Structure 1
């Protein structure tokens, strides 16, 4: 079974490689054509066999590949960190608009933060991976957030790990306050960006944010 799972996880690594290529092309295009790079950092991962089996057990899934494929959508993940909130929406729109990328779900935790203050864009997409035996549709979870959001999420994760999930109430309140401060920083930096460059990227009238695009993500989360 472990050998089958390793072979199974290769498909997810190939899907990550496919999406990373799309991200790299997008970033290079923005730099070359628009002189504006909305992507600051990119990280990716594919769950290990042990991590995958543990999650399947927690969800009480049958230990077979079809059940795992259907029941766990974050086996492969890519996190894209952007400078501005508008960039996160722009990059997600650019990726999900590609013809071979099928959008399965979108959750907008920027417009509607989680109770603990967490903010990010989450999307589960499916991309075809072409193997010797034929194409396979593989899911990848995308997370897009600003630098401030990413810093907060990383710190929050470390604190919860330190306390094994049982974080004192005082720290929980401080984390929520810090999340609000990070959100306010994002808002202020976006305003400064707009004041300097307008609603577009530097020297590029084609980078104006489409209100219809923003409305889609706000109303279809």
Structure 2
């Protein structure tokens, strides 16, 4: 995939990402107006870099091309929504699911069922409509929703036990940290 092909290929994904970012921001502001509270601490976003797309395609045994990326990858556009509490995550997910012009492609609740290493997060891939001069097409945008403590844990685990590394010496400790952070979150939520 040339740089020019990549830039042309990701443009509609950037448009879909902008679309979903605005929706999440509007929901957060509306929530704040109605309940004098806001569920989202901050939002991060990214478009997967060319090399990252190519590496993921190769790793999964696919041809490196824009067609393969379009057909097999659902995380080219990504947004991470960092919330205060778990109940905020579920509130945002419920509000997004009520929007009738986006479709759910894939959903994984790693809060209800954490990964064996302790990872907790809510992942949902939406098909987001992007309108062009010649019509409309849906593009996937992956949304990861985490609390601040989940984000801390995931960031530190990624830094110390970099993904792809086998046999991270701190793995057992990270499982214990995940439980401790979950307990801390629950205790803090009781103050509300």
Q: TM-score interval w.r.t. the shorter chain?
A: over 0.9
Q: Secondary structure at the match of 1:180?
A: helix
Q: Which residue of 2 aligns with 1:87?
A: 88
Q: Quick check: 181-190 or 38-47, which moved more?
A: 181-190
Judge conservation of contact 2:17–2:77 (CA < 8 Å) in 1.
yes
What is the alpha-carbon distance in structure 1 between the residues aligned to residue 72 and residue 131 of structure 2? 22
Q: Which residue of 2 aligns with 1:12?
A: 13
Q: Which residue of 1 aligns with 2:189?
A: 190
Call closer, same or farther: CA 1:63–1:30 in 2, change over 3 Å.
same
Residue 4 of structure 1, CA deviation:
2.1
Q: 1:135-154 maps to which residues of 2 (within 5 A)? A: 135-154=136-155
What is the alpha-carbon distance in structure 1 between the residues aligned to residue 144 and residue 16 of structure 2? 15
Q: Secondary structure at the match of 1:192?
A: coil
Deviations 1:42-75 (A, max 9, x none): 0000011121111111112123333221211111
Call closer, same or farther: CA 1:100–1:187 in 2, change over 3 Å.
same
Q: Quick check: 112-121 or 67-76, which moved more?
A: 67-76
Judge conservation of contact 1:105–1:125 (CA < 8 Å) in 2.
yes
TM-score by length of 1: 0.82
Flag the structure with larger Rg.
1
Call closer, same or farther: CA 1:168–1:138 in 2, change over 3 Å.
closer
Judge conservation of contact 2:161–2:168 (CA < 8 Å) in 1.
no
TM-score by length of 2: 0.94
> How many residues are paired up?
191
Q: Which residue of 1 aligns with 2:129?
A: 128
Runs of 5+ consecutive residues of structure 1 not aligned to the other structure: 194-221
Higher helix share: 1
Judge conservation of contact 2:103–2:126 (CA < 8 Å) in 1.
yes
Judge conservation of contact 2:131–2:137 (CA < 8 Å) in 1.
yes
